[in-house]
Amino acid sequence: MSLNFSLNKSVTYLSLLFVGATASLLGTQLLPTNAVLVQQQVAQLPSALPGNTDSNFIAAAVERTGPAVVRIDSSRTMRNRSARPGGRVVQGTGSGFIIQSDGLILTNAHVVNRADTVTVTLRDGRNFTGKVLGQDQLTDVAVVKIQANNLPAVNLGNSEQLRPGEWAIAIGNPLGLDNTVTAGIISATGRSSSDVGVPDKRIGFIQTDAAINPGNSGGPLLNQQGQVIGMNTAIIGGAQGLGFAIPINRAQQIANQLIAEGRVTHPYLGVQMTTLTPDLRETLSRDSNGRVQVQPNQGVVIVGVAQNSPAARAGLRTGDVIQQINGQAVKTAADVQQAVENSRIGVSLPLQVSRNGSNLTVSISPAEFPTS
């Protein structure tokens, strides 16, 4: 069944056939370098936190972590489509941070994507040629290695323990201004990829109002102790105080796989879905001329199924409402995405769905997310 839905909210995708980030959300490394700097209103910071003897906890955090923050310059040659030799060189600048003293660095995948050369510059001015050990486009995480020892390294925090309202400190190289420090708060946690406008990503983002600008991509987001709790990755163009970071627990998980295997595999169902709302129930019925009738009041409704996907082979249909995955109730599209991400490729995954008023159990075997 093929329907033309006019949905008001963004939908979450688990299929490359439905990939498409909104143009207003750009990786911060990719925005124009001549962007206008806008002064932001920042709440006055306290001279000291209760129980903190340091007169400036932000400065103390930066002193602990700043030496491990690096600038990453990448370049690649855009080949001519004609027979003439040569091509146009595209250059980009981002940030990164050293996670091990032997030269392992975390950054965003879009900072080094398809780069011919990668140059890493430390805060003390030393330059190194970087080698990309692996990158994962679905989470925008990459690992770069430089040949050096006894380097300063960051301390990693626990992004699972973050609460909105906590302090957030960003360090990076925005607009060519190396070692820039900005501060704000954690505005929210668990922002889904569809909330942010990048439905092709598999991340629950940290939202922060700490100023993030082009060149901050891949740099660390710190807590008040100077521990890394996120990796800055994106902003919403035209807005102020809307920056997003990858939780460090997730980034570290992906990095470990990239270091060990050079790649990351993601389970894939092949459905386009969105969280069920009363308005969406009406839209589904109206746009299908009554052929799709959704009975439940909550759950995750399938609004598209990719051809030849695991979902298609399992018999899932447009209008099915996912109620449970592997015996656990799901209420939002983010719940389904997380459950699928936690599943295993090729291992049967039971889904309980509601279809036109009847409850069905469907067994589906996730495949590896297509890479092309």
> What pTM, to 2 d.p., does this model score?
0.76
Instruction: Summarize pLDDT for 242-272 with one digit per residue, the tens.
Output: 999 999 999 999 999 999 999 998 999 999 8
**Is pLDDT of 35 > 90?**
no
Tokens 């807005």 correspond to 239
Domains present along the chain, CATH in parentheses:
12-19+266-368 (2.30.42.10), 25-30+54-64+155-252 (2.40.10.10)
**Is pLDDT of 308 > 60?**
yes
By residue count, the chain amounts to: 372
Q: What is the pLDDT of residue 32?
A: 29
Instruction: Summarize pLDDT for 183-194 with one digit per residue, the tens.
Output: 999 999 988 877
Question: Which residue would you say has higher pLDDT here, 14 or 285?
Answer: 285
Once rounded to an integer, what is the mean pLDDT over residues 72-76?
A: 92
Instruction: Summarize pLDDT for 200-230 with one digit per residue, the tens.
Output: 778 889 999 999 988 999 999 999 999 999 9
Q: What is the pLDDT of residue 1?
A: 42
CA distance 161 to 172: 24
**Is pLDDT of 147 > 60?**
yes
Instruction: Summarize pLDDT for 107-145 with one digit per residue, the tens.
Output: 999 999 989 999 999 999 999 999 999 999 999 999 999
**Is pLDDT of 334 > 70?**
yes
Q: What is the pLDDT of residue 203?
A: 85
291 pLDDT band, cuts 50/70/90, is low
> According to the per-residue pLDDT averaged within each range, which of 26-40, 95-109, 236-250, 258-272 is highest?
95-109
Q: Which residues on neighbouring strands pair with residue 168, listed in sequence order?
A: 184
CA atoms within 13 A on the CB side of 151: 30
2 pLDDT band, cuts 50/70/90, is very low
Query: Are the C-beta atoms of residues 178 and 162 closer than 8 Å to each other?
Result: no
Measure the CA dihedral 262/265/266/270, to 10°.
130
What region does 286 belong to: left with phi over 0, alpha with psi -120 to 50, or beta? alpha
φ, ψ for residue 40 (rounded to 5)? -105, 150
Other CB atoms within a 10 A radius of the CB of residue 55 amount to: 9
Q: What is the pLDDT of residue 4?
A: 44
Annotate 277-315 with three-state secondary structure.
Answer: CHHHHHHHHHHCCCCCCCCCCCCEEEEEECCCCHHHHHC
> Over the range 117-146, which residues count as b (16 or more CB within 10 Å of their CB) and which as e?
ebbbbbeeeeebebebbbbbbbbbbbbbbb
Amino acid (1-letter code) at residue 260: A
Q: What is the pLDDT of residue 66?
A: 94
**Is pLDDT of 285 > 80?**
no
For the annotated catalytic residues, the residue numbers are: 110, 140, 217
Inter-residue long-range contacts of 284-289, CB under 8 Å, 24+ positions, other chains counted: 284/3, 284/5, 284/319, 287/3, 287/4, 287/5, 287/6, 288/1, 288/3, 288/318, 288/319
With 0-12 / 13-18 / 19 or more C-beta atoms within 10 angstroms meaning exposed / middle / buried, residue 70 is buried
Query: Are the C-beta atoms of residues 133 and 262 closer than 8 Å to each other?
Result: yes
Percentage of the chain beyond pLDDT 90 is 56
Q: What is the pLDDT of residue 228?
A: 97
Other CB atoms within a 10 A radius of the CB of residue 8 amount to: 10
What is the average pLDDT value for the chain, to the nearest integer? 82
Query: Are the C-beta atoms of residues 310 and 268 closer than 8 Å to each other?
Result: yes
Q: What is the pLDDT of residue 318?
A: 87
